């Protein structure tokens, strides 16, 4: 996660969602990555979601916990934002019909 700013500016994705937790050893590095990305000139959307008073992989240890469910909901919502664009992209491809070949 220690890429140069010039490398970050060339990322090929249009959106990025970053999750961090307050009590994780990776939180500082992840927040630094987020700040570098914002300063890199990358023109796309980046969102940072922080879960307070939680530790690394908390969402896997208590799948039914409120914060784990909220995290999954945010992730699914983030993915669904691009669902329409995905359908348009897939419509561009012509499927190969082996019976007509």
pLDDT in tens, 20-64: 888 888 899 989 999 999 888 888 888 998 988 888 888 888 888
Tell me the Ramachandran region of residue 69: left when phi exceeds 0, alpha when psi lies from -120 to 50, beta otherwise. Answer: alpha
What residue segments make up the domains of the chain, in order of their start?
5-70+77-83
pLDDT in tens, 24-35: 888 999 899 999
Q: Give this prediction's pTM.
A: 0.69
């Amino acid at each position: 996660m220690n890429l140069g700013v010039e490398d970050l500016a060339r990322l090929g994705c249009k959106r990025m969602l970053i999750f961090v937790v307050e009590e994780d050893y990776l939180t500082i590095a992840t927040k630094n990555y987020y700040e570098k990305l914002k300063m890199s000139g990358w023109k796309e959307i980046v969102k940072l979601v922080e879960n307070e008073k939680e530790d690394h992989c908390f969402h896997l240890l208590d799948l039914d916990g409120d914060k784990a469910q909220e995290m999954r909901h945010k992730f699914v919502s983030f993915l669904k934002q691009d669902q329409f664009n995905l359908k348009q992209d897939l419509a561009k491809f012509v499927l190969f019909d082996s019976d007509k070949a």
